[in-house]
Amino acid sequence: MSLKESYQFCFKMGVAIPRQVLKDEPVLRHIAQEYDSITCENDMKPENLLDAEANRKEPERYDRSPAVTFEKIDPYMEYAKKNGIGMRGHTLVWHNQTPRWFFAKDYRNEEDAPLADRETMLARMESYIRTVMTYVQQKWPGVIYAWDVVNEAVVEEGLRESFWIGTVGQDFVLQAFRFARKYSDGSAALFYNDYDTFLPWKREAIYDLILRPLLEEGLVDGMGMQTHLTMETDLDEYEKSLRYYGALPLQVQITELDNHNTDLSEESMERLAQRYESLFDRLVKARKDKAADLTGVTFWGLQDDMSWLTAFRKERSYPLLFDGQLKPKKAYYAVLGAAEK
């Protein structure tokens, strides 16, 4: 049985994929067999949807309604539709992978160009969210079942300093969700997504700063726990967080699962498998206990040699379920095993 078949009773099984995969037939067959959800690793982020050329060429025309181009995402949407695979829309509003010129007056490209004012940025935000959501709802109905409306807004000091804060201000998260709710046809759940969501201080901050105000206005449907783990991440604390978010009137999704691991030895791969097994035991149990409405688990990468972690951590990582040849590792069988208990 595949991952998606094993977990059909519980939640969707997903994977984030890069563009190069779309040209690789055997890999596409593998994905359709193992998963019932995909996420664009990069192509649905603002830097890939915003039409740099058009906006910068005619800044007056596009000042309050930024030009957007969909050629990069259509192939993913088509593949998903054809194969009955759902998709997570990742991500509408984020401080990262969003070009600086998007926040600048007249879309100017110089590093020190003055920022646009609040009214302009609110108009750009609304227009961007409306354009992207409307496009996928009309052209690819039924494919996207979850949107990461805002990604990674919380840091230790509170809300992260960013161009969103610097232009719109402290209420940018609320505004983004209002627009997303306004333009959603109801076919996709609206998520707040973040990393380190298992840390005690962070889950409290996310609730206070983000989820509580959004819940008060009925604007959020789900909490996305990215779940970039290391071999040291405390899974008991993780489970506490899962149940903490699960106790709110929200779905929970694991949106970017991997487990950094630099040691390729058999013992280490065995330990990795045990960690995945322990994690999935907890996920299944939370679902069975009705402690969390867990509706999806997405791996951040197909196979070890495609993982972002090697570049990010500056050391080779073997964090996923499949090796560089797409051969299932022990971790794969451990995840399957957890579904059968």
Q: Catalytic residue positions?
A: 152, 256
Is 258 a binder of ligand GLA (CB under 6 A)?
no
Token pair 């999935």 is at which residue? 280
Smallest distance, Å, CB 7 to ligand GLA?
Answer: 22
Helix or strand run (H / E) with residue 39:
strand 37-40
In the complex, residue closest to ligand GLA by CB: 308
**In the complex, least distance from residue 326 CB atom to ligand GLA, rounded to whole angstroms:** 20
Least CB distance from residue 58 to ligand GLA, whole Å?
30
For ligand GLA, which is the closer residue by CB, 145 or 195? 195
Closer residue to ligand GLA (CB): 129 or 336: 129
Give the integer Cα–Cα distance in Å for 299 and 38: 9
Kindly identify the residues of this chain, within the stretch 95-124, that bind ligand GLA according to CB under 6 A.
none
The structure tokens listed for 187 are: 């076919």
Q: What does the alpha-carbon distance between residue 31 and residue 16 come to, in Å, rounded to a whole number? A: 10
Footprint of ligand GLA on 145-204 (CB under 6 A): 151, 195
Give 88 or 287: the residue with its C-beta nearer to ligand GLA.
88
- Length in residues, the chain: 341
**Measuring CA to CA, how many Å separate 77 from each of 27, 40, 142, 280, 301?**
16, 10, 10, 28, 18
Q: Which of 37, 184, 226, 251 binds ligand GLA (CB under 6 A)?
A: 226
Specify the DSSP class assigned to residue 161: P
Task: Round to whole Å and give the CA distance between 263 and 270.
Answer: 11
Separation of alpha carbons 1 and 157, rounded Å = 46
> Considering CB under 6 A, how many residues would be counted as binding ligand GLA?
6
Q: How far is the CB of 226 from ligand GLA (least distance, A)?
A: 5
Cβ-based nearer residue to ligand GLA, 6 or 151? 151
| Helices 172-183 and 118-139, packing angle to 10 deg | 30
Return residues touching ligand GLA (CB under 6 A).
90, 151, 195, 226, 256, 308
